[in-house]
């Protein structure tokens, strides 16, 4: 049997330093050999958000140690790697530069191919780490910097159907958390607080819910939370606001996903319909449950990555690398960092569509 390709994946686009090794399995899918993620939450907590220069410094301090750990855990020798896949964008330029230069140096010294990966393509493919998915599929990408509906036609072939015109969903979670006095990163905490509150207590706005196709908008919601949060008197109010916010997000995503289903059907006709939800916010259990219900109603198959692979990781980068490796899609060592790299390069650039803030 010929040797199955092994890919080293490196991710450093924001505040996670991550390295993973994956090998192609007998079925042509990925087997995760190791997947190390070092979060910088403790560094950025006191500032209430990611500080780019501190993030870059932490990547520099950690990246070689994390790589050694990933190699040790996988029991793979560096010389046995077939290619190095590294996130080249979108993200914070100073952070991306650390990972891409480290990845290029390893590839050059081993004389192995270098593969530049779009971070969003990593998220888009992440459910393939545990499920078999055929193209085309409909993708809802919801993370800290992005909120988009995309028709995924093949590797590297994306058609954007809708995007946020202002804030990303994860950003709305994080900003709400901040206003409620919850420590950064607040998204996962809001989900927990919401469990204790009354979701009908506050009637919050759902911007552009009945217009704009499957485009999204969360800025008006954030402004409403800001106003209400000033009058919060006790813990009960806080739980109720978190619950009302969580419910509002669910209702927006329910409605807009329904619109995106129609758009997807218009483009792809009457084929098997798969709805993939990926990105950090896809870890939200109530959002998963609500979108699963919608899929049952609308005859789409729902697919989510495992909860631990929703947030930033390098297994998804290595997987994108593996798919490109199998198609001989290699990149030159002069490949630049692309802080605003969009998945659908024909789509108009909008803030939420391709850049992390
Ligand atoms: O994909 P990700 O790790 O990083 C980016 O590429 O942006 O997503 C991070 C975002 C953050 O805004 C975080 O608050 C949000 O995902 N998030 C959640 C949950 N877990 C992470 N939001 C809501 N509920 C969660 N359980
Ligand atoms: Zn991400």
pLDDT tens digits for range 112-156: 999 999 999 999 999 999 999 999 999 999 999 999 999 999 999
**Shortest-distance ligand to the CA of residue 178:** 1
Give the pLDDT score at 345: 85
| Ligand 1, atom 3: closest residue by C-alpha | 311
Residue 74, pLDDT > 70, answer yes
| Ligand 1 pocket, mutate which of 40, 281, 340 (most atoms under 8 A from CB) | 281
How high is the mean pLDDT of the chain?
95
Same fold, 6-128+309-326 and 134-304: yes
| Ligand 1 atom, smallest distance to 285 CA | 26
Q: Ligand 1 pocket check: which of 89, 167, 173, 343 to mutate, most ligand atoms within 8 Å of Cβ?
A: 173
Cα of 299 to ligand 1 centre, how many Å? 27
> Per mean pLDDT, which of 2-6, 182-186, 317-321, 347-351 is the most reliable?
317-321
Give yes or no for a contact between 197 and 235, defined as CB atoms under 8 angstroms apart: no
> How far, in Å, is the centroid of ligand 1 from the Cα of 136?
25
In the CATH scheme, what architecture does the domain 134-304 have?
A: 2-Layer Sandwich (3.30)
> Which residue, judged by its Cα, is nearest atom 13 of ligand 1?
187
Three-class secondary structure of residue 150 per DSSP = strand
Q: Render pLDDT for 226-275 as a digit per residue (tens, 0 to 9).
A: 999 999 999 999 999 999 999 999 999 999 999 999 999 999 998 889 99
- In this structure, what token pair is assigned to residue 274? 């798969």
Look at ligand 1, atom 10, and give the residue with the nearest C-alpha. 144
Closest Cα to residue 6, out of 350, 357, 321, 333?
321
Distance in Å, CA 235 to ligand 2 centroid = 31
Where do we find the tokens 């590839």?
Answer: 107
Counts of helices then strands in the chain (DSSP H, E):
11, 10
- Given a cut of 70, is residue 351 above it in pLDDT? no
Q: Best substitution site from 173, 280, 314 to test ligand 1's pocket, by max atoms within 8 Å of Cβ?
A: 280
197 lines ligand 1 (CB under 6 A): no
Confidence of residue 346 (pLDDT cuts 50, 70, 90): confident
Average pLDDT over residues 56-74: 98
- Strand 114-118's sheet: what is its strand order? 30-39, 16-24, 6-11, 83-89, 114-118
Residue 352 has pLDDT above 60, yes or no: no
**Model confidence band, residue 1 (pLDDT cutoffs 50, 70, 90):** low
Q: What pLDDT, in 10s, does the model give residues 180-193?
A: 999 888 899 999 99
pLDDT of residue 350: 61
Question: Ligand 1: distance of its center to the CA of 146 in Å?
Answer: 10
- What strands, in cross-sheet order, belong to the sheet with 147-154? 157-163, 147-154, 137-142, 274-278, 301-303
Q: What is the whole-number distance in angstroms between the Cα of residue 213 and the centre of ligand 1? A: 24
Res 356 pLDDT > 70: no
pTM of the predicted structure, to 2 decimals: 0.95
Q: Is the peptide bond before 14 cis (omega within 30 degrees of 0)?
A: no
CA of 38 to the centre of ligand 1 (A): 15
Of 49, 187, 320, which is best to mutate to test ligand 1, by the most ligand atoms within 8 angstroms of its C-beta? Answer: 187
Average pLDDT over residues 5-17: 97
Q: What percent of the chain has pLDDT over 90?
A: 91
Quick one: which atom of ligand 1 is closest to the CA of 170?
A: 12
Pocket of ligand 1 contains residue 250 by CB under 6 Å: no
**145 CB within 6 A, ligand 1:** yes
Looking at all shown ligands, the one closest to residue 287's CA atom is 1
CB 246 within 8 A of CB 190: yes
Give the Cα separation of 321 and 8 in Å (integer): 8
- For the stretch 102-114, pLDDT in tens is 999 999 999 999 9
Ligand nearest to the CA of 281: 1
Domain assignments of the chain as residue spans, ordered by start: 6-128+309-326, 134-304
> What's the pLDDT score for residue 59?
98
Pocket test for ligand 1, best of 143, 179, 290 (most atoms within 8 A of CB): 143
CATH of the domain spanning 6-128+309-326: 3.30.420.40
Local confidence band at 38 (pLDDT 50, 70, 90 cut-offs): very high
Q: Which has the closest alpha carbon to 164: 227, 88, 89, 252?
A: 252
Closest CA to 165 of 198, 124, 212, 126: 212
Transcribe 16-34 into DSSP letters.
EEEEEEEEE-TTSSEEEEE
Question: 354 falls in which pLDDT band (50, 70, 90)?
Answer: very low
Query: What's CA 312's distance to the chain center, in Å?
Result: 6
The dihedrals phi and psi of 173, each to the nearest 5 degrees, come to -60, -45
pLDDT of 129 reads 96
The CB of 185 under 6 Å from ligand 1? The reply is yes
């Amino acid at each position: 049997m010929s040797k199955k390709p092994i890919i080293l994946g490196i991710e450093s686009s924001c505040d996670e330093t991550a390295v993973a090794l994956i090998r192609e399995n007998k079925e042509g899918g990925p087997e995760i050999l190791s997947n190390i993620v070092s979060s910088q939450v403790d560094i950025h907590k006191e500032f209430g958000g990611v500080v780019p220069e501190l993030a870059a410094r932490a990547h520099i301090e950690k990246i070689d140690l994390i790589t050694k750990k990933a190699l040790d855990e996988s029991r793979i020798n560096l010389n046995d790697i077939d290619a190095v896949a590294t996130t080249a964008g979108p993200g914070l330029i100073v952070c991306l530069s650390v990972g891409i230069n480290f990845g290029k140096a390893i590839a050059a010294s081993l004389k192995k191919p270098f593969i530049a990966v779009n971070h969003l393509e990593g998220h888009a493919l992440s459910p393939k780490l545990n499920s078999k998915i055929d193209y085309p599929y409909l993708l809802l990408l919801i993370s800290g910097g992005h909120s988009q509906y995309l028709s995924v036609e093949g590797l590297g072939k994306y058609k954007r159907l809708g995007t946020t015109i202002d804030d990303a969903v994860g950003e709305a979670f994080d900003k709400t958390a901040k206003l409620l006095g919850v420590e950064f990163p607040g998204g996962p905490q809001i989900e927990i607080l919401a469990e204790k509150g009354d979701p009908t207590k506050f009637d919050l706005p759902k911007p552009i819910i009945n217009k704009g196709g499957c485009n999204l908008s969360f800025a008006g919601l954030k402004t409403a939370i800001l106003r209400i949060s000033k009058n919060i008197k006790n813990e009960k109010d806080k739980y109720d606001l978190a619950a009302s916010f969580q419910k509002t997000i669910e209702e927006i995503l329910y409605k807009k996903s329904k619109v995106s289903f129609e758009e997807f059907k218009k483009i792809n006709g009457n084929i098997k319909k798969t709805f993939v939800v990926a990105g950090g916010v896809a870890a939200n259990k109530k959002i998963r449950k609500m979108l699963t219900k919608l899929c049952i109603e609308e005859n789409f198959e729902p697919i989510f990555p495992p909860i631990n692979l929703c947030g930033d990781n390098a297994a998804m980068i290595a997987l994108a690398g593996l798919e490109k490796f199998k198609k001989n899609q290699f990149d030159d060592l002069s490949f630049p960092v692309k802080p605003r790299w969009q998945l659908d390069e024909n789509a108009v650039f909008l803030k939420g569509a391709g850049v992390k803030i």
